Amino acid sequence: MSQTLQQERASGVARIRLHRPALHNAFDAALIGELTAALEAIGTDCEVRAVVLEGSGASFSAGADLNWMRGMAAASEAENRADALALARLMRTLDELPRPTIARVHGAAFGGGLGLVACCDIAIGVPEVQFGLTESRLGLLPAVISPYVIGAIGARNARRYFATGEIFDAAEALRIGLLHQVVAADQLDAAVQRQIDLLLRAGPIASAKAKQLVREVAAHADGKRHDADNAALIARLRVSPEGQEGIGAFLDKRKPSWTD
C-alpha cells in the first residue's frame, strides 16, 4: 500500500492525491517513485478518461522534503544525477500522459509541486495559493522542471522567477498562464467538476490525443510537413470509429455513445 498517495477511480475519472499532509506533500524519493508508477498505470487503463491531481491537508505540494534534500546534498554527483533523472521521468510521464489531466491547487505549490501544476493540461486554484521557484536562493535552479514551467509561463516570465526565487500569488499565476482559472475555495470542487464534465463529453481518443497534437505542432519547424501531418491526422480521425460516431451523432442530433 502506498505511503505517499491516495487514489480513487470512478466514472472514468482517476483522482491521485499526494498524501504527506504533515510535510505539506513535500517530494522525496518514495513519492516520486510511487507517483510515477501510478501515472504509468493510468496511462494504460482504457477505462480512465481524465485524471485529477491534488494534495491532502494544507498544501498542494511544498516542493522538496528537507530531509531528502539533506541526504542528496551529502550524496555523490552520480547519485544526484540518478535522483534528478527519477524526477525528470515523473514530470515527463505526467506531461505526456495519454489522458487529460487537471491540477486542483490549494495552499502552496513550490519547486517540484509547481512543476506538477505546469505539467497538467488544466490548472485551477484558489486565491490563497502561493507559488515559488525558490531554488536560486539555495544556489540551485529548477532545471528538471524547466521545460514544463517555461512552456506554461513563457521564457520571459521564467527568466524572472528562476532568477529571483520570489513568491507569487494566484492572480499572478493566472496572469502568466500557470493557472487557467482562480475560484473561491468553496467553488474549487465545482470548477474541477465542470472541466471533468467537458472532458467526458469529448471523444476519448480525441481528448487523449490533444496534448500530443499541441506538442508536435509547437515543435514543428517544417511548415509543409506540418500541414501534411495534420491533414493525415484529421483524415484518420474522421474515418475512425470514434470520428464516425461523433459526426453521426452531431448530424443525427443525438448524444455520442461515449456520453451514455
Average pLDDT of span 120-143: 93
Three cell numbers written together for 252: 443525427
**Confidence (pLDDT) at 224:** 63
Band of residue 186 on the pLDDT scale cut at 50, 70, 90: very high
Task: State the average pLDDT for the chain.
Answer: 90
How much is the CA Rg of the chain, to the nearest whole Å?
A: 19
What percent of the chain has pLDDT above 70? 94
Per residue in 5-16, pLDDT tens?
A: 999 999 999 999
Backbone torsions φ then ψ of 245, nearest 5 degrees: -65, -45
**Confidence (pLDDT) at 111:** 94
175 and 222 together in one domain: no
20 and 89 together in one domain: yes
Average pLDDT of span 183-196: 98
**Confidence (pLDDT) at 213:** 87
**Confidence (pLDDT) at 243:** 76
pLDDT at 76 over 70: yes
The span from the CA of 59 to the CA of 105, in Å, is 8
Average pLDDT of span 94-118: 97
Instruction: Single out the residue in 199, 232, 251 at which a domain terminates.
Output: 199
Instruction: Single out the residue in 157, 173, 199 at which a domain terminates.
Output: 199
Determine which of 16-20, 26-30, 190-194 has the lowest per-residue pLDDT on average.
Answer: 26-30
pLDDT at 166 over 60: yes
162 and 46 together in one domain: yes
Average pLDDT of span 51-56: 98
CATH of the domain at 253: 1.10.12.10
Highest mean pLDDT among 63-67, 124-128, 230-234: 124-128
Write out the E strands in the chain: 5-10, 13-18, 50-55, 101-105, 108-110, 122-125, 130-132, 167-169, 181-182
Instruction: Single out the residue in 148, 169, 199 at which a domain terminates.
Output: 199
151 and 223 together in one domain: no
136 and 252 together in one domain: no
Q: Which domain holds residue 57?
A: 5-199
What's the total number of domains in the chain?
A: 2
Cross-strand bridge partners of residue 101: 51
174 and 210 together in one domain: no
Band of residue 81 on the pLDDT scale cut at 50, 70, 90: confident
74 and 164 together in one domain: yes
13 and 60 together in one domain: yes
209 and 188 together in one domain: no
128 and 219 together in one domain: no
**Confidence (pLDDT) at 116:** 98
Backbone torsions φ then ψ of 176, nearest 5 degrees: -90, -5
Average pLDDT of span 67-92: 86
Per the confidence metrics, is the pTM higher than 0.85?
yes
129 and 254 together in one domain: no
192 and 210 together in one domain: no
**Confidence (pLDDT) at 30:** 94
Band of residue 242 on the pLDDT scale cut at 50, 70, 90: confident
CATH of the domain at 172: 3.90.226.10
